[in-house]
Amino acid sequence: MKYIIDKQMNAAIAADIFPGASLLVSNQYQIVHYEQYGLTQIAGTPVDQTTIFDLASLTKPLATSLSILHMVQSGLIKLDQNISTIFRELVASDKKNITIHQLLCHQSGLPAHRPYFESLLKKPPQNRSNALLKLIFEEPLIDRPGFKTEYSDLGFMVLDAIIKGVTGYRLDTYVFKNIYNPLGLSAPYFIDLYDKPEIEKEKFAATENCPWRKKNLIAEVHDDNAHVLGGVCGHAGLFGTALDVYRLLAILLGIYHDHPQQKNAQAIIHRKWLRTFFKVPGDGKRPLGFDIPTPQKSSSGNFFSSNSIGHLGFTGTSFWMDLDRAIIIILLTNRVHPNRNNTKIRSFRPQIHDIIMQNLIR
């Protein structure tokens, strides 16, 4: 298997699909392939096992959704709770009946994306979170809540505000205090741009040469809206290695299967609620905070079972987890380097997943 995977990955580098990548494959809780390819940036250093990638929208399932899960199981909120019970300014608005459940499975009626950073840049950093929420609440809905599935960054920005509004903790603090640290994890993690941490930039894969920031982005969140909020947001902001992502996913998989090694983890994330979040509701198309393979056109290819979950990140990151077969594939790349116009990964992702799965399940 290694030869054919390495051949395909190196061909992808040569075809400029991405400058660098880290690929991890596990089968039945055993890592069977963990290799790195290419460079951290054009004319950069080779990607290795310590190379950290901007995980982009993997933040949604791995930080925001898990935090909401923990809050639900702790009795702090309910899935069917209207967000107007938290944000009283919505009581008389068209958004009053949006539920936390609808935000998680992208049925809130909110649009997919808005370039809010353009107006938020004009405001002092300390005022931007409140200003963002106001902009979202003033945004016209594109559909009635619960009527249509529309993948939405805005919905996860609202979930981020719910975490802080209900618990008093910012997302990064909440997820580390209540989930990552109790599970024995120190990563993935957020980089707080307001805190100006000392960063060893040589350990990071570069993302885009940003046209408005006028620089090559390294160890700085790529997403524009997340950037103006300081790098910690519900829809983007996590950084980590492929192994960091795997360690978290392997714990979740173990909880799902009631694996003996994860008995202690089930005190942190209850199996009942994890299975609820992994399942597509009867009237929906996506699980709660995660994604599932789309028949015939999934980035996961053609061989993941129907009982699989995963997610993509705009920077070129992804994970897919076959819950029936206990297979995990994590592909981290910096396909947006040097710019986001490179979309070649769309055809490559399903091909590499098919090659891997055919070797694992034959």
Q: Of the residues 173, 198, 230, which one is the last residue of a structural domain? A: 173
129-150 pLDDT, tens digit each:
999 999 999 999 999 999 999 9
- Does a structural domain hold residue 115? yes
Residue 306 has pLDDT above 80, yes or no: yes
What is the pLDDT averaged over residues 216-225? 97
Interaxial angle between packed helices 345-361 and 2-14, expressed in degrees from 0 to 180 and rounded to the nearest 10? 180
* Model pLDDT, residue 297: 87
Q: Of the residues 125, 151, 173, which one is the last residue of a structural domain? A: 173
* Model pLDDT, residue 290: 98
Residue 88 is classified by DSSP as G
- Structure tokens given for 109: 């009626």
Task: Give dist(CA 269, CA 261) in Å, integer.
Answer: 14
Residue 197 has pLDDT above 80, yes or no: no
74-125 pLDDT, tens digit each:
999 999 999 999 999 999 999 999 999 999 999 999 999 999 999 999 999 9
* Model pLDDT, residue 1: 87
User: Cα dist. 268→255, 272, 335 in Å?
Assistant: 10, 12, 35
User: Cα dist. 348→17, 96, 241, 326, 345 in Å?
Assistant: 8, 42, 21, 23, 5
- Does a structural domain hold residue 324? yes
**Together in a domain, 79 and 133:** yes
**Together in a domain, 54 and 68:** no
* Model pLDDT, residue 198: 82
**Together in a domain, 13 and 134:** no
Given the structure tokens 């290695």, which residue do they identify? 241
Residue of 72, 96, 65 whose CA lies nearest to 82 = 96
Residue 29, judged by CB atoms within 10 A of its CB (0-12, 13-18, 19+), counts as middle
**Together in a domain, 168 and 217:** no
**Together in a domain, 111 and 31:** no
Q: What does the mean pLDDT of the chain come to?
A: 96
**Together in a domain, 40 and 88:** no
**Together in a domain, 224 and 335:** yes
Q: Of the residues 152, 173, 194, which one is the last residue of a structural domain? A: 173
**Together in a domain, 107 and 208:** no
Q: Residue 308: CB partners within 8 Å, gap ≥ 6?
A: 292, 293, 300, 320, 321, 322, 323, 324
Helices within the chain (DSSP H only): 2-14, 59, 66-73, 100-104, 117-120, 128-138, 153-167, 171-175, 224-228, 242-256, 271-278, 345-361
Q: Work out the pLDDT band at 282, boundaries 50, 70, 90.
A: confident
- Does a structural domain hold residue 191? yes
DSSP string, 262-325: GTTGGGTS-HHHHHHHHSPPTT-SS-SS-B-PPTTT-TT-S-S-SSEEEEEETTTEEEEEETTT
* Model pLDDT, residue 65: 98
310-329 pLDDT, tens digit each:
999 999 999 999 999 999 99
Task: Give dist(CA 239, CA 187) in Å, integer.
Answer: 8
Look up the CATH number of the domain holding residue 168.
3.40.710.10
φ, ψ dihedrals at 167, nearest 5°: -100, -20
**Domain that residue 120 falls in:** 64-173
- Does a structural domain hold residue 180? no
The residue type at 278: F
Is the omega angle on the peptide bond into residue 338 within 30 degrees of 0, that is, cis?
yes
* Model pLDDT, residue 192: 95
Rounded to the nearest 10 degrees, how much is the dihedral formed by the CA atoms of 47, 52, 53, 56?
170
Q: Work out the pLDDT band at 361, boundaries 50, 70, 90.
A: confident
- Does a structural domain hold residue 178? no
Task: Give dist(CA 319, CA 311) in Å, integer.
Answer: 6
Q: Work out the pLDDT band at 195, boundaries 50, 70, 90.
A: confident
With H, G, I as helix, E, B as strand and everything else as coil, classify residue 97: coil
258-269 pLDDT, tens digit each:
998 899 999 999
The residue type at 36: Q
φ, ψ dihedrals at 321, nearest 5°: -130, 115
pTM over cut 0.85: yes
Query: 158 and 95 in contact (C-beta within 8 Å)?
Result: no
- Does a structural domain hold residue 151? yes
* Model pLDDT, residue 284: 82
